[in-house]
Every structure is written in structure tokens, then in C-alpha cells.
Structure 1
Amino acid sequence: MPTPAEVLTTINRTDSAAPRVTCYDDLPGPTAGERVELSGRVLGTWVSKAANALQEEWDLEPGSVVRLALRPHWRLLYWAWAVWSVGAVVDLDGGAGADLVVTDDPERLPDDGPAVLVTRAALARRSDHDLPDGVMDEAADLSTFGDLFSPWAEPEDDDVALRLAGEETGYGELVALARAGATSPPGSRVQLVDPSAEALLRTALAVWADGGSLVVHLGQTDEATLDRRARTEGVTA
């Protein structure tokens, strides 16, 4: 089975201009009301920039562990794919021993060790928080990294790709397991309502592996709004 990085390469080779994720933010706060749509090409650019940062700033590679302390969001998707692009471990458990922490919550920054603070707003150019030494301001710094990415090393099938709920999933089975749990036909435009981080990642793996796309609603959204958006976005599953 392909790795997550190979899934992204395949959908971009097939149709890089097609939308792959459309994200509506219905959560209270400064990003409420945002609608962000990423084509495969734009998604790939975000992934490349983040993956280059992981390699060039922190020397991350297969076996390295990245704690993604991020709420469900389109930014979670490209950070997860960046980690998988360097062959490292996406850790959603939050245990000790991470080589890097990526979070959108200043309260979840580690007391020591490297970290990235992600600002969720689509047009943010810098964080509103004063950041300690060792913490990258993603909004200010990520754009400086390259748009093309080449990994220093490729993961083996038995290298750990995902750590979740005390269990570890290897690169050789990650996409296959996600596809096994899918219920939509290939090429579907799949709607997700207020998913967990796990559900967002697993659904993206399955849907993109089958050439489809996602429409994601963050927060509680009324049924009339969901129905209207589903018609507008061409949702099929």
C-alpha cells in the first residue's frame, strides 16, 4: 500500500487543481466564519514547507516523534502529512519523549524542547503571543521554507507512522487500515461534521487514497446550514 506522501503525490499527478479539502470554521473565536479551500497543489505546497522545516530546523527523520497537539483543522492535515513526508511518527497521544511539539494552544507548549506555535487564521502573518526561545512562530516563519521537498530517508513498512490511544501503526498498513474503514465510493466528495483529530486524519487518508475530497465543518453546525453547504459544495457522501 502507498504511504501518505505517495497518496498526495498520486492525487496531484491526477488532478492538482481539484479541491481536496474545504474547511468551514463554525467555532467561536477570531476564525469563526472562515471558509478555506485547498487544491491538491496548494496542499502540497503547505506540506512541503512544513516538511522542509522539520528536516532543516530539527533534523527529523524516520523514528523521530512529532507530537501534534492541534485541534481538527486544515492546518492539522498539512502538518500530519509533513511528518509523514519525512518518515517520522505522528503522535496524538501526548506522551513524553517527542522530538518536537506542534500546537495551536500556547498553554500546550512544552516547558523545554523545540516547538511550533500554529496560528489558525488563514491570513495570519505572525502570532499574537510572545514566544519563548526554541518556539517557531509558524505564521511568520513557515513561508521562508521551500515549496519542493525531498526526504533525506524513506520510512520502512514497519516504521511507526501513527501513535494513538496507546497503539502504533506502521507505514506499511496506515493507508490500508484507513481505507478498510471507509464507507464512501472512490472519488467521493465526503462531508465531515465536527470530527476529532483522529477522524479527520483517517478520513483524509482514505478519501484521498481513493481520489476524493473533503468538506469539513468545525464546531456545531445546524442542519439547514449543513444541507445548504452540501448542495453548494457538491457533497456526495
Structure 2
Amino acid sequence: MARSRPAWSQRSSGTRLADARLARDPTVRLNAAMTAPADPLLPLLPQAADSFRPWLVWYAAGERVELTGHVLAMWAAKSAGFLEAEAGTAPRVRLALGPSWRLVTWCLGTWLAGGSVVLGDDGAPAEVSVAFTPGDLDPVAEVQVLVPRAPLAVRWEGEEGSGSAGLPPLVLDGVADVMTYADSFPPATAGPGHAALTLPRHELGAWRGSEADKEHEAVGEPTWATLSRQETAHEAARLPEEGPAVLIQESASATAMLAVLAAWRAGRTAVLVAPDAEESLVATAARQERAARMSLSAGC
């Protein structure tokens, strides 16, 4: 899949590289951090020192992936470094990864880089598109990335059943190209009002357990909602701080990611189960992780 520079993109690769180098300058970031309002989203995210317990456990058919806060922070740092180098500061990143542990790591990397996550095709341009399959890539995005589904894969090796192997032309590898970046990344400066998450409005309504967002659609208002970093952190305030691990099985990426943030905000482990997992696997995950299933209407 060859890609050309979109008409809306005015920055040259040299300008993006200069932006990235400037953004990584510790003095620049320190001065920005001292003058900018506090970022309410960063305290919810795992840090390198969080190695004492799992923050995220992923279950799918034949798969169990356990990630401590330290490991998640490493993936976030590498993804953020990659995004900043390829797309400059505060990129808009469209993710077509479904509810999965890969979705979580790319959300973390985007937010660490000061960027905004887009879950779906809202019609607005995004600098970066990340997907499992070539058909789900945004053809207009300047940076296109393919991620393998297999949890232990070291590179993208082709779409299962397609008969082809290797990356399409000019498409980057969401593991092999990302792993070359450092394990640490100084957070980009992003204030409370900066965009963090664009999602379908009906999914936001499902998360809130309200019909309000469906009513917006009925009167012709936009079917997409964009949450700021402050609003995203606020939406995650759903669970009490005392309680078991949180079992999450959602068909929508947006509600799954918000549920993961809610678990973390409450200091609890997020147990994310694949949407197509059989009920026996869901029961196994709940038993092994001592997790309580999250209800969007009542929490857990």
C-alpha cells in the first residue's frame, strides 16, 4: 500500500524531526511543565516503578498476557518515542485494534506523547493510523502502522489466511519498528483541555448508562464526541478504591478502554477479555484473577 502525503499535511519530514528533537529537549520540557496546568490524565497511567502487581491481564482463546505497570510503561514509552519521531508532537492517532491489550498500549503511548486517540472513522484527518490488517488502515494518514495480533510476535508477518507475508510498501511495523525506541519517555506537555479521546457518541452514552447522547443524534447533532484529558479522567471515576480486580468484556474499543482507566484510577487490576471469548473462558478469567465483572450501569 503506497501512500502519498495528504493535502492537509503541510509539515516536511525535516520539520517534524526538528519538532521531535525540540520536544525531547529536557530544558524545554521542564520549562513547559513548570508553566502548564497539571495534566489530569497522566496520574492514571502506569509508571516504570509500578512493578509489584499486574495492571492489565488479557484473556483470549489460548492466550493469557499479564502486564505489570513497569511493562506497560515500557510499551507506552516506546510507542510514544515512535509516534513523536514519525508524526511530531501531539499527534492524532486513529486506532483500529479492537478491545485488546495492544489497544491499551497504543492509547498509553499516544497520551504520553501528548496526542489524541481516535476510535473509529470520524471523517477528520489523523496523522497516524494503527491497525491489525491493511484493510483497516486509514489510506489518508501520513503514517501507517500494522500490529500483529499474536501476543509474542516480534514483527507483523502478514494477514492470516491472505496468502501474503510482509508489510505493504511504506507501512511501518508496530512491534519491530517500535521496539528500537527507549524504555523511558518524558511526558509531553498537555493541559487539561487538550483532546484525549474521540469516540462514537452512542458508545459514550453506553458508558454513561444514559440515553442523552442518542438524543443528540436524533436531532441531527454530531455523532462523534471528543473528550479532553480532564473529561477522560473524569469519565474514569466510576469505581470505589477498595475491591477486587475488574473483569472487562466489551465489544466496543471505547467502553473497554474507559473501563481499563476506571480500574486503574481505583488502584485495581484490569482483566480484559476478548469480545468473542466463550463464557467458559470468561468464568476462568474471573476465577483465576479473582475478578468481579464490571457493569456499565452499576460499576462493580
Classify the TM-score, shorter chain. Answer: 0.7 to 0.9
Aligned residue for 1:148, secondary structure, equals coil
Specify every segment of 5 or more residues in structure 1 that has no aligned partner in the other structure, as ranges: 27-32
1:57 lines up with 2:115 in the alignment: no
Q: Is the 8 A contact 1:89 1:163 kept in 2?
A: yes
- State the Cα distance separating 1:198 from its structure 2 match: 0.9
Counterpart for residue 42 of structure 2: 5
Q: Is the 8 A contact 1:19 1:213 kept in 2?
A: yes
Structure 1 Cα separation of the partners of residues 63 and 118 of structure 2: 27
Specify every segment of 5 or more residues in structure 2 that has no aligned partner in the other structure, as ranges: 1-37, 159-165, 201-223, 293-299
Structure 1 Cα separation of the partners of residues 119 and 240 of structure 2: 25
Select 2:270's aligned residue among 198, 202, 214.
214
1:164 lines up with 2:220 in the alignment: no
Identity across the alignment (%): 33
- State the Cα distance separating 1:137 from its structure 2 match: 0.9
Structure label with greater radius of gyration: 2
Q: Is the 8 A contact 1:188 1:207 kept in 2?
A: no
Counterpart for residue 110 of structure 2: 83
- State the Cα distance separating 1:16 from its structure 2 match: 2.4
Aligned residue for 1:204, secondary structure, equals helix
TM alignment of 1:70-149, pairs within 5 A? 70-94=97-121, 95-112=123-140, 113-129=142-158, 130-149=166-185
Aligned residue for 1:128, secondary structure, equals coil
Q: Is the 8 A contact 2:92 2:115 kept in 1?
A: yes
The residue type equivalent to 1:98 in the other structure is: A
Deviations 1:176-203 (A, max 9, x none): 1221xx2454453001124421111101
Counterpart for residue 212 of structure 2: none
- State the Cα distance separating 1:163 from its structure 2 match: 0.9
Q: Is the 8 A contact 1:187 1:207 kept in 2?
A: no
Aligned residue for 2:55, secondary structure, equals strand
Q: Is the 8 A contact 1:184 1:190 kept in 2?
A: no
Structure 2 Cα separation of the partners of residues 74 and 195 of structure 1: 14
The residue type equivalent to 1:144 in the other structure is: T
1:22 lines up with 2:22 in the alignment: no
Q: Is the 8 A contact 2:94 2:128 kept in 1?
A: yes
Change (3 A) 1:187 1:195: farther
Higher relative contact order (CA 8 A, sep 6+): 1
Q: Is the 8 A contact 1:5 1:81 kept in 2?
A: no
Aligned residue for 1:125, secondary structure, equals coil
The residue type equivalent to 2:193 in the other structure is: D
Structure 1-normalised TM-score?
0.86
CA RMSD of aligned residues (A): 2.1
1:176 lines up with 2:176 in the alignment: no
- State the Cα distance separating 1:2 from its structure 2 match: 5.5
Structure 2 Cα separation of the partners of residues 43 and 72 of structure 1: 16
Q: Is the 8 A contact 1:4 1:81 kept in 2?
A: no
The residue type equivalent to 1:23 in the other structure is: W
Structure 1 Cα separation of the partners of residues 250 and 119 of structure 2: 17
36-45 or 155-164, which moves further after superposition? Answer: 155-164
